[in-house]
Amino acid sequence: MKHKIAGMFGMCALVVSSMICGSHQYAFGNEKDAGWAINPSEKKTLYVAHWTHTPENCPGRTTDGAKVLSKFWEGKKNAEAKGVKVIGAYVTVTEHDYYFIVEASDYAAVVEFFLPIIPSQTGRFVPVLTMDEWLKIIPK
């Protein structure tokens, strides 16, 4: 299951990176098409985040680790005030993985949201599109 989920996220990242590298992400002034943002700050970006840790470094093994994780999750309120909306958060407890889906217009705010878990976790987050957004822009 873990490999299927990771493969799905990897495929999404490949599709998104090829789209961004292959063309501009936002419309120029003369390209006012429906669904395009003239001002990038008006456009929210979805990110899929994957964080993991070793069993030995699991925050659930110690009181201090659990406090760090709780403090991180409480930081969701501050992140929301800065425009980061957590759409979903999932844990594979026995595999020591966390998956988050967040939406934001400010990449720096997304980075700031994840800062508390950086000392104990390894992770990444990538921008993604919904399938509906993707189908609107693929060549027809």
What is the domain partition of the chain in residue ranges? 2-24+43-133
The mean pLDDT value of the chain amounts to 79
CA-to-CA distance for 137 and 114, rounded, in angstroms? 30
CB 109 within 8 A of CB 16: no
What whole-number percentage of the chain has pLDDT above 70? 70
The reported pLDDT for the residue numbered 119 is 87
Of 23-27, 32-36, 92-96, 124-128, where does mean pLDDT reach its minimum? 23-27
Class of domain 2-24+43-133: alpha beta
pLDDT surpasses 90 at 89: yes
Q: How would residue 140 be classed by pLDDT, with cut points 50, 70 and 90?
A: confident
Determine the longest span between alpha carbons in the chain, in angstroms. Answer: 57
6 pLDDT band, cuts 50/70/90, is low
58 versus 8: the higher-pLDDT residue is: 58
Report the distance separating Cα 98 and Cα 27, nearest Å: 34
Q: What pLDDT is attached to residue 8? A: 47
**Under 8 Å CB-to-CB from 104, ≥6 apart: which residues?**
44, 45, 47, 83, 84, 85, 110
